[in-house]
Structure 1
Amino acid sequence: MALELLTIKAYKSASCSFSDYIGEYNAQLNPTEYSKSWKTNSVSVPTGGGSGPNLVMVKPADPENISLKFTIDDTGAIPGGNVNIVDNVANLKELCLDVNDDTHTTNYLSLEWGSLELKCKMTDFSVVYKLFDFDGFPIRAEINANFTEFIDVGSMLEGYNSPDMSHIIEVKQGDNLPLMCKNIYGDPNYYLQVAEANNIIDFRNLIPGQKILFPRLEK
């Protein structure tokens, strides 16, 4: 029976459907350990300058957080498993952490290994280079990668869209975030806080059909 290796599959959308498949990263060696953690389900986003009420993002479910540690080896100790360490790290970063030019955000990921299966996004990763050849090129590296479960804010908060709760608005053609904030809060200057609450990197290019959470104002 072949050894099942950790696979990180990348997609253009949160559905992680076959039509949105981009590519995948296959670990050379399985993780030596991984951990899970959860965060509070209420996040207060301060307004700019510290004046006025805060925005409060209320989530009905906590996202799951996964931390993985695994090794890449090019010493020859693994039969038939030689890899270029520098290229391998660059491929992992491009697939999981770089902004996709088409979607204007990082790729949606599916972690798959044994009982571990999670639709998520990578939040960060670090590399510790352990061994080097005579020319100073790394031949062994340890990867520490962190992922956060992706939760579709729109679908999770259906029914919470009331004046006292958060608002879920579907983007229409021609919408922009400052104007939407003006309509919801009466003030367009909350757009940066709303972008942060929704992990929107390029708020100038909203996608029609995209659902955006407008957190309630903290009184």
Structure 2
Amino acid sequence: MPEKLTITAYKDYNYTDSTGQFEVLVNPSNYDTNQSINYAEEQALGSPGSEPRFQNIPSEECKLTLIFDGTGIIASPPASLKGKSVPEQIDAFLKVTSDYSGNIHSPPPLELVWSDFTFKGILADMKVNYNIFKPDGTPVRAEVDVTFKTASSTQESLLQAKKSSPDMTHIKTLKAQESMQHLCQQIYGGENYFVQVASANNLNHLRGNKVGLQLVFPPLTNK
């Protein structure tokens, strides 16, 4: 494991062929990761409460602050940054993290590695704060706040998508003002799958199902 945070750029989202690497001057004092889950609030007609319905999981974020220094007080800087000014150091960082990749028509996928910490994604945001200067105004110290967001290949995304509602078995309890068709719309995105659901539950009638009836919604067999 590298002693300093190392950022490696790759040709595509398979994260196999490296196109460049950047080793930080000073390890960050801390880093933050953030993961949220989006729900839509759904409330059946006449119901006193609402039932959250899963929508999606946005990209995870990793936020940290990098130090770029040209005062000379940093012992043993990486060879790629040695003797470079602060603007040149930042340019070296951007060359690895932001240069346009013709393979994916966007900046490159990145892998951040530091000790046991690993994060794969893209550079999403960057804010530079210059805070020490020479008398002539040349910056010799900068703190750069960066945000990375997770990113994966189309193949990995499709594998994740197979975990979504239409390809999973669901068990639902029929509530007031609900129908099998309504639940099919929620789960499969269309009401016309109620015949498959009725068959899976050994039902010979499609209407008038009782409140509290437990129904199995199988993975779609004909999408």
> Please, what TM-score do these two structures have when normalized by structure 1?
0.59
Secondary structure of the 2:118 match is strand
In structure 2, the gaps of 5 or more residues are 41-53, 78-82, 167-184, 190-223
- Cα deviation digits, residues 48-104 of structure 1 (max 9, x gap): xxxxxxxxx944x55321101121111111234353211111222232234323420
Corresponding residue number in structure 2 for 1:77: 73
- Give the drift of 1:118: 1.1
Corresponding residue number in structure 2 for 1:39: 36
CA RMSD of aligned residues (A): 2.8
Residues 105 and 3 (structure 1 numbering): CA distance in 2 closer, same or farther, change over 3 Å? closer
Q: Paired residue for 2:19, among 2, 13, 22?
A: 22
- Give the drift of 1:3: 7.6
* Inter-partner Cα distance in structure 2 for 1:38 and 1:70: 22
Secondary structure of the 2:88 match is helix
> Please, what TM-score do these two structures have when normalized by structure 2?
0.58
* Inter-partner Cα distance in structure 1 for 2:37 and 2:11: 28
* Inter-partner Cα distance in structure 1 for 2:75 and 2:22: 20
In structure 1, the gaps of 5 or more residues are 44-56, 166-219
- Contact preservation (8 Å) 1:34, 1:68: yes
Give the partner amino acid of 1:157: A
State the structure with more CA Rg.
2
- Cα deviation digits, residues 20-43 of structure 1 (max 9, x gap): 210011100000221111122469
Say if 2:4 is the partner of 1:5: yes
Corresponding residue number in structure 1 for 2:134: 133
Residues 73 and 11 (structure 1 numbering): CA distance in 2 closer, same or farther, change over 3 Å? same
**Corresponding pairs, count:** 149
* Inter-partner Cα distance in structure 1 for 2:2 and 2:9: 22
- Contact preservation (8 Å) 1:132, 1:140: yes
Structure 1 vs Structure 2: percent identity of aligned residues? 24
